[in-house]
Amino acid sequence: MEVRSRYRSEHRRAEYGRLRKKTQEHEFVDRLEREFEFSPRMSRGVLDVVTEMFFDNREIGAGQVDYTCVSAEEGPGKTMEDLKKVRVKLTRDVVSDEDVASRLGASAKRKVQLLRMTEEAYDQGGLLTQEDLGRIIGVSARTIRRDVEELMANKQLKLFLRGLQKDIGKGITHKAWVVSLYLQWKTYSEIERLTGHTVGSIKNYLNDFCRVMMARERGIRSAREIGYYLGRTERLVNEYLALLKEAEKIREHRRAGLQDRAHPTSRAGVHRTLYGPGGRRPRAPRILRR
């Protein structure tokens, strides 16, 4: 019985070995060894590189592009040949981009695309240049440079560009910028005018922020864990948590200020103290209405 089982296993291994030699991968490695006199290890390495470069099975959705850019780990001072490159999946076009173009013009649409794609590339380990963005969007690098200069006028906004590597640690992303404006009691129309994003995009960012807030209220404290459950990056979750903490500080300061005042005691007087001479309270974001 033992002899029969051993024969069966040896027979199966031989069958598997013959089938494996009939694959395209084995034929490619075999030709490298015979025709170019590569070692087996070198041939297998060439196969891995070719597979990674030309046969990536990542799905590309509508409006997305597959692009090769410089790794975010690389610093300045190297030639392009010596720089490590990574492949990233970028969302060039979404339906809301055309709404932005129809309302605010082509420049506003490019800025929205620029902010979105540079952040997507950075989250995948890459950094785009102004030349990269010009090639992807279909405009000159000079046009992109002008858009970048206009975006840089907003000192608190973070841009993930290779030419601005030293400033990447400063500021906040455009998603966190939209949420911070909402927490400042800006209306949708005001945020739309200030950022160029559509109301639909603004609501999507706020929905993500609310999901982060709900996850924290349910006892999930780790940004990495929240990002895993919500399908968002740890970096973005950390920015949302920082905004949430700041909003809670503002709420506590407002409560403390109200308790410290002995007068006026009437409701109208309190409203005048908190909200100005008109005494009319604007509608607050939900995080501040507790």
Q: How many domains does the chain have?
A: 3
Is the pTM above the cut of 0.75?
no
Report which residue type is found at 201: S
Q: 221 and 206 in one domain?
A: yes
Residue 185 shares a structural domain with residue 280: yes
Q: What dihedral angle (degrees, nearest 10) is formed by the CA atoms of 242, 177, 202, 182?
A: 70
Range of the domain at 23: 2-54
229 shares a domain with 207: yes
Rounded Cα distance between 7 and 114, Å, is 64
pLDDT at 234 over 70: yes
User: Is pLDDT above 50 for 270?
Assistant: no
Query: Do residue 71 and residue 129 come from a single domain?
Result: yes
Any idea what the Cα angle at residue 142 is, between residues 167 and 162, rounded to 5°? 25
Shared-domain flag, residues 38 and 63 = no
Model confidence at 236, pLDDT cuts 50, 70, 90, reads confident
Residues 177 and 286 in one domain: yes
**What is the per-residue pLDDT across 74-117, written as a single tens digit (0 to 9) for each?**
877 778 788 888 889 999 988 888 888 888 889 989 999 998 99
Top pLDDT among 154 and 8 is at 154
182/136 Cα distance (integer angstroms):
31
Residues 202 and 279 in one domain: yes
Rounded mean pLDDT, 143-170: 76
Of 102, 137, 165, which closes a domain?
A: 165
Please, are residues 59 and 92 in contact by the beta-carbon 8 Å criterion?
Answer: no
Residue that finishes a domain, picked among 136, 165, 194: 165
Note whether 290 and 197 are same-domain residues: yes
Phi, psi of 277 (to 5 degrees): -60, -35
How much is the pLDDT for 8? 59
Q: Which domain-ending residue is among 137, 165, 193?
A: 165
Weakest mean pLDDT among 7-11, 21-25, 38-42, 158-162: 7-11
The reply to whether 46 and 79 lie within a common domain is no
Beta strand 85-91 with 126-127 is: unpaired
